[in-house]
Amino acid sequence: MNGVFPRANTIVSIEESKLLKRFEYGLLFGAKGLDGALGVLNRMNYFRTYETAAAPNFGEMLDDLIKDSFGLMYDVLPEKKVWKLFGLYYDIHNLKLAAKERFLKKRLDGLYLDYGGYSMRTIRSAAVRESDDILGDTALTEGFFTALRATDMHDIDFILDKTYFAALKSAAERLGVPEIKIFVTERADLYNISVYFHSRAAGNPEGYFEKAFSDRGSFPLAEWQKYIGGEPENARSFPLWQKYEPLWKNAESGRRLFVEYDVMRDNYLVERTKAAKLIAFGVLPICAYFFNRLIEIKNVRILLTGKQNDYAEDEIAKRMRIPYEL
């Protein structure tokens, strides 16, 4: 029974079967306007509540689904360290708020997201003295205080984006599951590729790539710097370029690439998690489910927002991530 979590694996297996399928996305795409799409979701009880979703409240109801997902995650996960892998994204958002509050000298409570592992009160307390390590995470504490000392507000985002990958990699290493560590490394690689594209689009401003670069990917900064200032064609000899080029080589244009890269990246990561559908027990199918549950909620938000703003169906489709389905 080592590595088997009967309750968690059973619950996740049941919940995973409820994720939206391709044909259900088709029904949502084909629905007429926002009211039509919400009608489809209400009939399938997507929001899992007696409350009817409508134009004024669907955003709050999607927020509630994220909270419910984190509640289930915390309840069933065999290792609480796994929960941190998902909560870190929101923790970093809230750490950025606290650092910007210090910089701007005003409160930003309205932007707080309560899906992470720390309340805003705890984060503000953690900003008092670094040696207290109130966050209980060396990578987060070091990154947070580096951001608090920033003299340019834009640097807060750079510092804490890098801190996110440092803390994420550290959490994956503590968990000790090789596949999760590889997945996190790929996420850092894909982030660095995004930084590379943005740096080139901005004309390679001095120091930009170095500020944003995460050292938790497959290659160190020195290797990346060989390709930053040269011709774009030179990057084709870079192993990472060769590995990930299929993601973007069919982009309609360079301009579309910047619009669609996040979708391409997420689609790649969803495909990587599909192998977990063939695994009955252990941490991997549990992590894969929660990763894709959060992706699905993002998809539904994109689709409903697109319908609300009368976007064309093909424009909405370009922003949607693929479903977690073999």
Question: Is residue 214 classed as helix, strand or coil in its secondary structure?
Answer: coil
More confident residue, 270 or 174: 270
**Are 7 and 76 contacting, i.e. CB atoms less than 8 angstroms apart?**
yes
| Mean pLDDT value across residues 31-53 | 94
The reported pLDDT for the residue numbered 72 is: 93
Residue 128 makes CB contacts below 8 A (sequence gap 6+) with: none
Distance of CA 105 to the CA centre of its chain: 29
- Phi and psi (nearest 5°) for 286? -70, -50
Confidence of residue 203 (pLDDT cuts 50, 70, 90): confident
Could you read off the pLDDT of 67-123 as tens digits, one per residue? 999 999 989 887 777 888 999 999 999 999 999 999 999 999 999 998 888 999 999
Could you read off the pLDDT of 215-244 as tens digits, one per residue? 999 999 999 988 887 777 788 889 999 999
**Are 263 and 247 contacting, i.e. CB atoms less than 8 angstroms apart?**
no
Q: Let me know how long the chain is.
A: 326
Q: What is the rounded CA–CA span in Å between residue 59 and residue 137?
A: 32
Where in the chain are the domains? 1-76+255-326
For the chain, what is the mean pLDDT? 91
The reported pLDDT for the residue numbered 143 is: 97
Give residue for tokens 């920033």: 150
At residue 1, does pLDDT exceed 60?
A: no
Question: Is residue 58 classed as helix, strand or coil in its secondary structure?
Answer: helix
* 34 C-beta neighbours (distance < 10 Å), count: 19
CA nearest neighbour of 62 among 304, 262, 244, 227? 304
Residue 297, Cβ density class (10 Å: 0-12 exposed, 13-18 middle, ≥19 buried): middle
**Are 172 and 223 contacting, i.e. CB atoms less than 8 angstroms apart?**
no
Confidence of residue 296 (pLDDT cuts 50, 70, 90): very high
Query: Which tokens hold the place of 174?
Result: 């503590």
* 250 C-beta neighbours (distance < 10 Å), count: 8
Confidence of residue 176 (pLDDT cuts 50, 70, 90): confident
Query: Which tokens hold the place of 92?
Result: 């970093």
Largest CA distance in the chain: 58
The reported pLDDT for the residue numbered 243 is: 93
Residue 70: half-sphere exposure toward Cβ, Cα within 13 Å = 17
Q: What is the rounded CA–CA span in Å between residue 86 and residue 70?
A: 8
Ranges of H-type helices in the chain = 6-16, 22-30, 33-43, 58-76, 80-104, 120-126, 138-148, 153-175, 178-201, 208-212, 221-228, 239-248, 254-273, 283-308, 313-319
| Mean pLDDT value across residues 118-138 | 95
Give residue for tokens 């894969």: 288
Q: What is the rounded CA–CA span in Å between residue 237 and residue 114?
A: 43
Give residue for tokens 């599909």: 274
- The 8 Å CB, 24+ separation contacts for 219-225 are 219/189, 224/192, 224/196
The reported pLDDT for the residue numbered 264 is: 92
* 77 C-beta neighbours (distance < 10 Å), count: 21
At residue 145, does pLDDT exceed 60?
A: yes
pTM of the model: 0.93
Residue 94 makes CB contacts below 8 A (sequence gap 6+) with: 112, 113, 116, 118, 120, 123
